[in-house]
Amino acid sequence: HGPTERGVCPVGLYGQGCEQKCKCDHGTSCHHATGQCVCEPGWTGLTCNKSCSPGWFGKNCSQVCECPVGMACHHVTGRCGCPAGFMGSSCEKTCIQGQYGLNCSHVCSCSGPHQLCHHVTGRCTCPPGYYGSHCQLKCREGTYGPGCKKRCRCANGGRCDFKTGACLCQPGYLGANCCPAGHYGKDCAKTCSCGEGGLCHPVSGRCTCTPGRTGQSCQQVCPRGRYGAQCRSLCTCVNGSVCDPADGTCRCGLGWTGTRCEEACVSGRFGADCDQACMCLNNGSCDRFTGSCSCTAGYYGPTCQHQCPAGFFGKLCSQPCECTQGHTCDHVTGQCMCPPGYHGNHCQKRCAVGHFGVGCAHHCKCAEGVPCDQVTGQCLCPPGKTGEYCDKECVSGRYGPGCSLQCHCAHGGQCDPRNGRCACPLTWLGPTCEEGMYS
């Protein structure tokens, strides 16, 4: 009982392969996937086993009765007053045994111990397994059912239930007609040939194969594209997936998932039924079939775990940096990463006078006209100047770069703070004012 061409189960069946029966007491059908009952008018509940509440009737019990107070309203039609043979506030019950007719007001005249009285007409009938003018007789041995008109088929001394015809087998025998396991036919003389769990018909020996098997002895698997009982159902798997011959479930190949294998793996998943998680790092993308990583610009390695080595950038790290003096570049974009004191697209320019640092973005704070180190910004004081900003003169007795040298002018001679040259008093001469003018 597989799906129809539109993929919907036949009426009365639901589920994977349409192999489950709807369990609805008063339902026209059930949902082909979930089995939820669609109730007939006048009924409600999970299995449509409850009549509408008093005062309501019709489909989904959504219509309001308009009957006078105290008068029953039929739960299906909404008519006021119950039809013959029914009772209850919603006319949902048949007359109790022994009563029949309109308002169940008539008394049955059936006097036999097993006679049944029809709840509408009052006619007396015999239940299955009984006969006679007052249903006082059981069916004779070998017969059963309504009017005892059916003949029993139990073998090997099996007795037949006089009501249902079911065989009550002797010890050591079983099955519909009491044959030993693996045998069938008259006197159970023939041997069944059903393999792979197939059931053997007790009379003909014909095999009823388990779902997914076919052939006279159930020795064959359903042909490709078919599944289920007698291989009647059509597989719906797509994209090269394999259909289970028993229940029709799809086994997806690499890169696909979904009940029919109709969905491609989402980002981050790969493999059969997309059940593997990608291992790619740094935003690398993963091939949904094999799981191999495709790295973004700036990365390489089996899982894109490595940055491009110094001096290279871009996709597959295949482009060399174009920065002067061996300066490195960004591993993704290739933009040169200039050290302090340099700028330009290729780090080819030194900082202009008065600027220093990364990107030459900082301004020197030195005294007017004094340059600074283009890397650190430290002021480069000329001879005779000192202090953080080179804004202080050397103290008396000191001269030179950073005022680091000691003057050697004697007899009160004045020392030039830039070069240490002595300016001697009037009566003294010489480089250090130590020679007397009149000596």
Could you please report the per-residue DSSP string of 319-341?
A: EE---GGG--B-TTT--B-PPTT
Name which CATH class applies to 385-436: mainly beta
Question: Where are the alpha helices (H) located in 133-258, listed in sequence order?
Answer: none
The full 3-state SS of 96-108, as one line of letters, equals CCCEECHHHCEEC
The reported pTM is 0.44
Query: Count of CB atoms within 10 A of residue 6's CB?
Result: 6
Residue 152 region by backbone torsions, left for phi larger than 0, else alpha for psi between -120 and 50, else beta: beta
Please report, in angstroms and rounded to a whole number, the separation of the first and last CA atoms in the chain: 140
The neighbouring-strand residues paired with 254 are 272
Under DSSP, the state recorded for 17 is G
Confidence at residue 218, expressed as pLDDT on a 0 to 100 scale: 92
At 138 the three-state DSSP class reads: strand
Q: Hey, CA dihedral for 302, 303, 308, 313, is it positive or negative? A: positive
Tens-digit pLDDT profile for the chain (439 aa)? 555 555 678 888 888 778 788 888 887 788 888 888 889 999 998 889 888 888 889 998 999 988 887 788 888 888 888 888 888 877 888 898 889 888 898 999 888 888 888 888 988 888 999 998 888 899 998 899 998 999 888 877 888 899 998 888 887 677 777 777 788 877 778 888 888 888 888 778 888 899 999 988 999 999 988 999 889 899 999 999 999 999 999 999 999 999 999 999 999 999 999 999 999 999 999 999 999 999 999 999 999 999 999 989 999 999 999 888 667 899 999 999 888 888 888 888 888 988 998 889 999 999 888 899 988 999 988 998 888 898 888 888 888 888 889 998 888 888 988 888 998 888 888 888 888 877 6
* Residue whose C-alpha is closest to residue 13's, from 400, 27, 28, 29: 29
Four-CA torsion 376, 377, 383, 389, nearest 10 degrees: -130
CA-to-CA distance for 36 and 15, rounded, in angstroms?
Answer: 11
Contact between residue 68 and residue 80 where contact means Cβ atoms under 8 Å apart: yes
* Residue whose C-alpha is closest to residue 60's, from 81, 73, 41: 41
Could you please report the per-residue DSSP string of 263-309?
A: EEPPTTEESBTT-EE----TT-EE-TTT--EEPPTTEESTTS-EEPP
- Name the residue ranges covered by the structural domains of the chain: 40-109, 385-436
